Amino acid sequence: MRLVTPGDSAPASVNKYLLPHETQVITVRRHPAVLMVPVGLVLGGLIVAGVLSNTVASDAGTVISWIWWGWLILLGWFVWRVAEWSVDYFVITNQRMLLTTGLITRKVAMMPLAKVTDMSFKRTIAGRMLGYGEFILESAGQDQALTNVDYLPYPEQLYLEVCEMIFPNKNPQPEEKTLPPPPPPRRPKEQPRTDDVPASPGGEEQA
């Protein structure tokens, strides 16, 4: 199964980084679990702000304002992280891997498929529960722009797809040739019966 069918097209923010002769095979966003920490901070900040507003600073209007302004700043940071997640993509073409990140300052990390010598696959307990994994790439070079990609969705399917592209089967089994059906048996020619042989002229019995 392929995550992107040949007829689909990459998003506009990614398509401009693809070469004309490249064919995209996989295009996915990172798993929403990458936003777990921002979500936890926003919810925790909301609880803390509500508790402080009702207890510590119940009579100080200025302090309450600062508390809620701080939470609004935290909320704005969370919205920024969601916007960044929406434009980050992991793309695999028939020639290379790309990871695009950043909302204002765009960063494109790339690894040619031909240079990948090994790839590790890791899933933590949280990754098993929520459905994401991490790829760790190794190549022949010392410094590479793309070494690990975390929070990837469909981890098992994605791992098998990538391994098939990096390490293709060089000795595919030949397809079995189906033999044509045998011809129908030939019917033997019927021999003429003696009753049907015409009598010779003048062939009456003589006494």
Q: How confident is the model at residue 36 (pLDDT cuts 50, 70, 90)?
A: very high
Q: What is the pLDDT of residue 40?
A: 93
Q: Looking at 55-184, list the stretches that DSSP marks H as alpha helix, in order from N- to C-terminal side.
A: 61-87, 125-130, 155-166
Q: Average model confidence (pLDDT) for the chain?
A: 79
What are 119-141's pLDDT values in tens digits?
A: 888 888 988 999 899 988 887 76
The CA–CA distances, whole Å, from 33 to 98, 124, 127, 137 equal: 20, 12, 9, 21
Q: How confident is the model at residue 196 (pLDDT cuts 50, 70, 90)?
A: low
Q: How confident is the model at residue 207 (pLDDT cuts 50, 70, 90)?
A: very low
pLDDT at 92 over 60: yes
Residue spans per domain, the chain: 29-87, 111-168
